[in-house]
Structure formats: C-alpha cells, structure tokens
Amino acid sequence: NELYHRDGTVRVFNNTELPIYNVEGEIIGVEGIAQNITERVEAEKELRNQQEIFILLEKTIEEVFWVHDLKTDKLMYISPKYSEIFGRSTNSLYHNPGSFLKAVHPDDVEFVIKEYKKISKEWNEE
C-alpha cells in the first residue's frame, strides 16, 4: 500500500491484518501490522533499472566485456561476445580466468599481463 506523507513523499507499506474474535466467534476487531518497505521497493526498482541498462549494453556492444571483483579476484560476469569472438566458452574463463591469454596473440601476452597488473593495482589503491 502506498501512503502520501505530509512532506509530499510516497511511503510504501506491507500490511498484515488479522481478525479478532470474541468468545462467540464473531469478529469484533482487527489487529494489524504495517511495515515500511519504501527503501526496499526503491532499491528493487533501482536494481531493475540497472539490470535493464546492463542487458541493453550486453545486446548492443560488439566487444567482449566482463565484471571482475578485484578484491576477491573473481570473475563475476563475462559477456557472450567472448564465445563469439574468441571461439572459447565463457565457462572456460570462469573456471580459469587466465585462460583468456590463450586467445591473445603471443607477441601481445606480455603487454596484456603488464596492463592488467597496472589496472588492478590502480583500482586496489582507490
């Protein structure tokens, strides 16, 4: 349920109502609990918006992109273009992130490793 606060904002509540009975079994009242879920609803809406943007990026970008958690050194996401461009499954990359180097031209491997370390260091310092 949405309620309008006097300051003009909208608050969202999850309401639960239970009947109260007398000894004859007749309903004589209602007991209820209202939980303010405004922040959760707003967070879910923002997450849906971000997911829509992510899906749009995934469908329109013709390059490989990925999400990598530098703190845990874990690949969180690899775009499907990886398989299309490099002819290797994204699962192979999830299981062995360093395997992408097999798709890099041998003359470029040292440069790629150096740049990756540089970027990782810069992000970890922030």
Domain around 70:
63-125
Alpha-carbon torsion (85, 91, 96, 97), positive or negative: positive
Model pTM greater than 0.85?
Answer: no
Give the tens place of pLDDT for each residue, 75-101.
Answer: 899 999 999 988 888 998 888 888 888
My answer on whether 70 and 55 are in the same domain is no
Task: Note whether 36 and 76 are same-domain residues.
Answer: no
Q: What is the pLDDT along the chain (126 residues), one digit of tens a residue?
A: 899 999 999 999 999 999 999 999 999 999 999 999 999 999 999 999 999 998 998 889 999 888 888 778 788 999 999 999 888 889 988 888 888 888 889 999 999 999 988 887 777 666
Among 75, 68, 76, CA closest to 120: 68
- Domain identity same for 53 and 80: no
Of 60, 77, 92, which residue sits at a domain end?
60
Number of domains in the chain: 2
Last residue in a domain, options 13, 43, 60: 60
